Each structure stands twice: as structure tokens, then as C-alpha cells.
Amino acid sequence: MAERVYPQWKEYIHYETTLQERRPVKRGRDVEEHLPMSSASFHILLALAGGAQHGYSIMREIRESTDGRIRVAPATLYRLIGGLLRSELIEEFEPGDPSYEDERRKYYRLTTFGRRVLTEETKRLVATVELARERRIIPRLS
Amino acid sequence: MISRKHRGARALSVVAHDVLIRAYPASFRAEYANEMRWAFSHLCADAIASRGLAGLLEVWIDTLVDFPASVIATHRERWQERAPLSWATPLMLTVLPVAVVARTMVDGADVAASFLHLSSVAAYCGAIRLWLAMRGATSAGQRIVFVISCAAASATFLRDTRMCMDALRQSPASIAIGFATIAVPVAAALASLRAAHAYLEVRKPIT
């Protein structure tokens, strides 16, 4: 059925039809729709900002970069990866290069849209930190 | 060099984790089960290499703490994907209060009894909801739950039908009012949902 393959019904695809071509033009994909992000999703995108990685290396990087404060279990990681794939913030990536750790694994990388969302979320967090500094919750950087 | 005891603990952990994976939706497992197994196996190996069995225990604590919430969230997400324009929930929300009124009339204004009978209405609703959820599902466990729910709902439905027939024999007027009470809002709800669905169909892309 048509709706099964089109769960995001709010995000309409409008077709520009001409005599020669019929191509879909995506509209309504708004960065704001994805903000604020959950902490785990944000860290997944942050891990992928450095380049394509497979699931386990994403988990490892999150754990290491947060000194073990954020530990994402495999089930939650792949559930969030599924959501990020559907939202087109990340995409699967076929490694053709033997330098990748394990070519049999699924690799993921940030899309251009995902990078924009990550940038906006980072700006939002920075603004929150600035607000906390203004309210003297944390000291100002000298 | 990993010891034999640690190798055994890791293998056992991976097998136990495979059992946990069975709780996730079939479509999710088809996509990610292999990756999850592989990631968990590496997680265990790293934990054992760095902290021995204490590290493995920490991995298990994290996994078990995460398990209930992630199972529920995954099922909810997959369900929402399968039925984005589901009419069942608003229909049931309409039917439930109407059923209370109808039951009250049939049972002779005993509101407490009506609320008790809500359990049977909930059984019908659960069966319909499950039927919708089961479309395309392949898990044996889900099929068993579906069959048991259908059996329970059928038994309740037959009992209620008998009760309604008895009430109809005793007081035809009240049961007619009861049916009208149910039919009018249900028809109105269905009509409005049909209209909304038709509108969304028009706005949908050509596939």
C-alpha cells in the first residue's frame, strides 16, 4: 500500500511535471523539526562527523569521547541509527577501500542535511551554555 | 591472550544476547540483528580484555538496563511506521464511551456493571488492534499472542451477543435506542476519518 512506503505524510513530495521529465522535488525538510536532539542521537552524529564508521566503532567513540559517561547499548544504537536513516540525517555507505576496518559491516556517514542539523544543534547547545554563563551557573572562560 | 574461561563467558553472553534480540520486531531484527550480535560480541571482548569478568558484568548491566525501554520504543516506532494513517485508535476512542452508555441502557442503568463490561469492549478493540498490527508480521510469538487474543475476544463477543439477544427479547425499545446511540457517533467518526483519509490520499505523492 502507498502509505506503507510513505510514513512521513507531513513531508510531501511535490512533482514538477514538464513535457520531457517528471522529477520529484523534496520540500518541507526542515532542520528545526529535528531539534532538540536526544543526547545519544547527537553523539552518533558527532561521531560520524569525523567520517564513515560502523555501529561498533560509533559506540566505542561515544564511550571514549564522553569518558564513559554516555554508553549506548547495541539495541538503542541501531534503533537510533534506523531513525536517523529514515530522517536522512545519515546514510549507509559501501566501503570500497580496503583501509576500512571490516568491509563486511554496514558503514554509516553523515548526509549534507545531517551535517546542517548537527551544526544547528551544536549552536543551540552553545547558546544554552552561554545562557548558563550569563546566569553564573558556570564560570566564564578567561 | 584471552583465557578459556573468558572465551566461554563471552560465547555464553552472545548466546544470551541472541535470546534478548528475539524480543525486538521481526523487521528490526532482519535489518540489524547481525550487526547487533557482532557489536555486542566485540563489546564483550573489549570489556573482558580491559577489566575481565567485571567488565563483562558492566556490559550486561548496561544491556539489561537498556533492554525494556529499547524493546518498547522499537515496537512503538515500527508500529507507527506500519500504520501511519490508522483509523482504529480514533474509532475505538469513540466506541468506548458510547459502549458505556449502551451497556448502561442494556444492563438497566447499572453504571458499575457497565464499566466492568468495558473489559470486554477492550478485548474487541485489542483484537482489532492486534489484527492490524499482525498484518505482514512473521514472528511465531506474535502469531500465538494474536490467536490467544482472538480466542478471548471471540468468547467475549459470543457472550455479549447472547446477552444482547436476551435484552432484545425483554425490552426491544431500549436495545434499539442503544444501537442508535452506538451507530450515530460511529458513523460520524468514520465519515470524518474517511474524509481526512481521502484528503491525505489526494496530497500523497505519485508512487
Q: What is the mean pLDDT of residues B137-146?
A: 58
pLDDT of residue A6: 42
For residue B105, which of B19, B166, B173, B54 has the smallest C-alpha distance? B173
Whether residue B123 sits in one domain with residue B74: no
The answer, for B45 touching chain A at a CB cutoff of 8 Å, is: no
Instruction: Name residues whose C-beta falls within 8 Å of residue B55's C-beta, 6 or more positions apart in sequence.
Output: B46, B47, B48, B49
Rounded to whole angstroms, what are the CA distances from A130 to A91, A116, A125, A136, B14?
Answer: 33, 21, 9, 10, 45
Whether residue B197 sits in one domain with residue B112: yes
Whether residue B78 sits in one domain with residue B102: no
DSSP A35: -
Read off the amino acid at residue A68.
G
Whether residue B92 sits in one domain with residue B77: no
Whether residue B131 sits in one domain with residue B33: no
Separation of alpha carbons B163 and B169, rounded Å: 10
Radius of gyration from C-alpha coordinates of chain B: 25
User: CB–CB of A75 and B80 under 8 A?
Assistant: no
Question: What domains can be seen in chain A, in order of their start residue?
Answer: 32-120 (1.10.10.10)
Which residues make beta-bridge pairs with A14? A25
Cβ-based contacts of B82 with chain A (< 8 Å): 4
Residues A91-106 have pLDDT tens digits of 998 876 666 556 568 8
Whether residue B114 sits in one domain with residue B172: yes
Residue A96: helix, strand or coil by DSSP?
Answer: coil
Q: Show the domain range for B68.
A: 4-82
Whether residue B152 sits in one domain with residue B112: yes
Instruction: Name residues whose C-beta falls within 8 Å of residue A17's C-beta, 6 or more positions apart in sequence.
Output: none
- Cell, residue B122: 477492550
Q: What is the 3-state secondary structure (H, E, C) of A55-83?
A: HHHHHHHHHHHCCCCCCCCHHHHHHHHHH
- Cell, residue B31: 535489518
Query: Where does the pLDDT of residue A55 fall: very low under 50, low under 70, confident under 90, or very high at 90 and above?
Result: very high
Domain boundary among B67, B82, B97: B82
Q: What is the mean pLDDT of residues A56-80?
A: 92
Whether residue B162 sits in one domain with residue B103: yes
Query: Where does the pLDDT of residue B93 fall: very low under 50, low under 70, confident under 90, or very high at 90 and above?
Result: low
Cβ-based contacts of A55 with chain B (< 8 Å): 35-36, 38-39
Instruction: Name residues whose C-beta falls within 8 Å of residue A62's C-beta, 6 or more positions apart in sequence.
Output: A40, A43, A44, A47, A70, A71, A72
Verify cis geometry, omega within 30 degrees of 0, for the bond prior to A95: no
Separation of alpha carbons A142 and B117, rounded Å: 69
User: CB–CB of A56 and B39 under 8 A?
Assistant: yes
Backbone angle region of A118, left / alpha / beta, with phi > 0 → left and psi within -120 to 50 → alpha: alpha
- Number of domains chain B is built from: 2
User: CB–CB of B205 and A7 under 8 A?
Assistant: no
pLDDT of residue A47: 94
Which tops the pLDDT comparison, B122 or A108? A108
Whether residue B92 sits in one domain with residue B78: no
Q: Does pLDDT of A79 surpass 80?
A: yes
Cβ-based contacts of B200 with chain A (< 8 Å): 9
CA distance B206 to chain A (A): 8
pLDDT of residue B33: 92
Separation of alpha carbons B40 and A78, rounded Å: 12
Whether residue B143 sits in one domain with residue B64: no
Whether residue B168 sits in one domain with residue B93: yes
CA distance B144 to chain A (A): 24
Read off the amino acid at residue A5.
V
**Nearest Cβ partner for B81 among A7, A56, A105:** A7
Pairing mode of beta strands A90-93, A13-17: unpaired
* Start-end of H helices in B22-110: 26-51, 53-82, 88-106
Within 13 Å and on the Cβ side, how many CA atoms surround A129? 9
Domain boundary among B55, B82, B109: B82
Domain boundary among B82, B112, B145: B82
Cβ-based contacts of B54 with chain A (< 8 Å): none
Whether residue B162 sits in one domain with residue B93: yes
pLDDT of residue B105: 63
